[in-house]
Amino acid sequence: MHESVLLHESLAALNVHADGIYVDATFGRGGHSGEILKLLGERGRLLAFDRDPQAVQVAKQQFADDARFEIIAEPFSAMSRELSARDLMGKVNGILMDLGVSSPQLDEAARGFSFMRDGELDMRMDPTRGFSAAEFIATAKESDLADVIYRLGEDRQSRRIARAIVTARQVEPITRTLQLAKIVADALPRHEKHKHPATRTFLALRLYVNDELGEVERTLPQAVDALAAQGRLAVISFHSLEDRIVKLYLRDEARGPQLPKDLPVRDQEIKRRIKLVDKIMPGEAELKVNPRARSAVLRVAERIR
């Protein structure tokens, strides 16, 4: 069963008004969307994005009869384009971005996200676009593989892992998740306690194949642009790389333009667009029922003008 992380905290952060306009940038399996809809009145409106065809199908099945809801089958980096087409830029009262992969994607072996279940080595959130993880590791240079695993997986053993992958693919194509997981594990005689040795490699490949960090970087400015005054942006991150992007972007936006120290400008004259509202971590009660929430961070900002 899919458990939405920081569900109540994120809803509280959005400060939902009954007649407001809201965006769920990552529909997933509809946990957050369903709760937002419960708080909306007849005049309220919720637009949800998801590039995963399975998630889009779930959205259509769950909320097909709800006139307040619309699912948009696009990555959230299409936010400005899609909201502009609906004349909603600058009018949105709240945006929720629940980053990363969803539990159903991890749990379905055929999607290729998990090193614990055997399936095709795909990892694409939208299997109809782009290249799969198997296609990437079949053709990538050893140096490029090492760079991706080091930069996105933050694995210091990236060169050893890349060398093992290149050696293995010369014997037979690497097309299955457990096949890759074993190659990585065999290449690392010593690894972190209580963590599967392929954890960082699978994370790196997933981030690379889906350009997840690039998606976040492109979308955050669009989300701020989309908000009305007093509109809230709530972003849930699950690992350090994406959280760092969110943290730094929101911090810089909240500071406003960095002017020379000796410039005679009063603080209230600096045109800041947002203010930081909160940073929230899962509580012990949530961690007991949903261990996947352990690395989650919710950051909240509000549009000033």
Binding residues for S-adenosyl-L-methionine: 30-32, 50, 76, 98, 105
Give the chain as a 3 state SS string: CCCCCCHHHHHHHHCCCCCCEEEECCCCCCHHHHHHHHHCCCCCEEEEECCCHHHHHHHHHHHCCCCCEEEECCCHHHHHHHHHHCCCCCCEEEEEEECCCCHHHHHCHHHCCCCCCCCECCCCCCCCCCCCHHHHHHHCCHHHHHHHHHHHHCCCCHHHHHHHHHHHHCCCCCCEHHHHHHHHHHHCCCCCCCCCCCHHHHHHHHHHHHCHHHHHHHHHHHHHHHEEEEEEEEEEECCHHHHHHHHHHHHHHHHCCCCCCCCCCCHHHCCCCEEEEEEECCCHHHHHHCHHHHHCEEEEEEECC
Binding-site residue set: 30-32, 50, 76, 98, 105
